[in-house]
Amino acid sequence: MDWFGRAKIVFTHATSPLALKKKDGTSTDLLKVCEASTPTCQLNPLLFNGDLQTMWTAVKEHGPPIYYRRRIFDADHKVYTGTFTVDFAVDPHKDVDEELPPRTAFFSDDDFAQIGSDDSRPMLIVLHGLSGGSHEIYLRHTIAPLVLDEGNWEVCVVNARGCANSKVTSGVLFNARATWDLRQVVKWAKQTFPNRPLFGVGFSLGANILTNYVGEEGENCLLKGAISVANPFDLEVANKALQRTFLGKQVYSRVMGSSMKKLIATHKDAVLTHTNLDYDSIQKVTYLHEFDREVQTVTWGYPTENAYYRDASSSDAILAIRIPFLAISALDDPIAVFDAIPFQEFTQNPYTVLVTTSLGGHISWFEIGGGRWHPRPICNFLNYMANEINLDAITPSDNGKKAETQFTTEFNPVRRKLRILDN
């Protein structure tokens, strides 16, 4: 046990981290930025392991009062049809919509039509965890320093389809590789706010989606930086770890399975109208992997849930990232488990740095008094990058370390396939 809640912090990185230029003309690198952004991790000593930290999230607290305006986006992809919602952090308002989460109301058409701006304020695009939304307490704790207390940031949250009281309007649901809605929002933000540097942060399942997105975009990514928090990375390994222990299966997997089953029940009419899912079978599932077997394999055509987990995992996507990328993980996380963290991949890509804490649980990191540690390194990193780093001087290039082999080969880290090429 770490002494009196003081967690050990370790940085995993490439031998030569990405070089960065500061606005004052001096030089630094991605590792130094991450080190400077990461404070001491002193957690509540009474919550001395990952299970206690994680379970403490069930203790209800109000969290920072973040207000949102919601906009429904029509998907612009010919295959991934339907709608999804984006919640924008705004000044406090008194509008009440009983169908939406607290402090959230819709934009009027006129107000949203005028949302575009030529300002250069940094903007953060956020992805929540499984079955969550913009209302999640861990998310609001994170963005509060950026939008409250004279924060200079603009923030929006992309809600997964059906989550946070959004409607399901097609047969396209979200999954752990569902990058298409995020991609559309990033492109929209770049067009609507051409001078804003865009950043991304994802939590848990949202971290996996964000990592896949950044890897898929590679050198063409429109984000200036991204942060992955409590990413499960290798979903097959994480799933097996959940099923291997009593708490993993009977608490975490059961709770997540129940929340997803409830989500489907909330959208019963839409599910029956737009999909070929067996609603009655879904309502009989107990664990998360059973839900994925009934929903993800049927929706996307995977032969098994394990095939889905392997395809949707973001561990290999680390190798394709070409923007500054920080990952934060707790080694005692009982959901995004230690064995699923791709340490070696982080050592091969200079654009990435992994920060691990020996304590913290799953998106918990509770400190004495109820505060949380994770917002501080996240906000420190974002502010450092936006305020001190010359972002225009970062030139993405394919300089990740390549394996030496006796054959002429090509490895696609996003599709996780190795081809031997004809000489």
Catalytic residue annotation: 204, 333, 362
**Cβ contact 89:125 at 8 Å:** no
Q: How far apart are CA 203 and CA 57, in angstroms?
A: 15
Q: How far apart are CA 38 and CA 415, in angstroms?
A: 32
Residues ≥6 apart with Cβ < 8 Å to 10: 355, 356
Query: Sign of the C-alpha dihedral, residues 107, 202, 261, 179?
Result: positive
Q: How far apart are CA 202 and CA 62, in angstroms?
A: 21
DSSP letter, residue 407: S
> Whose CA is closest to 124, among 300, 302, 379?
379
> Whose CA is closest to 236, among 186, 138, 302?
302
HSE (side-chain half, CA atoms, 13 Å) at 263: 24
Residues ≥6 apart with Cβ < 8 Å to 79: 172
Q: How far apart are CA 278 and CA 291, in angstroms?
A: 11
> Whose CA is closest to 360, among 248, 229, 238, 250?
229
Q: Which residue has the tokens 């109208």?
A: 273
Q: How far apart are CA 126 and CA 371, in angstroms?
A: 20
Q: How far apart are CA 87 and CA 156, in angstroms?
A: 5
HSE (side-chain half, CA atoms, 13 Å) at 276: 5
By three-state DSSP, how is residue 104 classified? Answer: strand
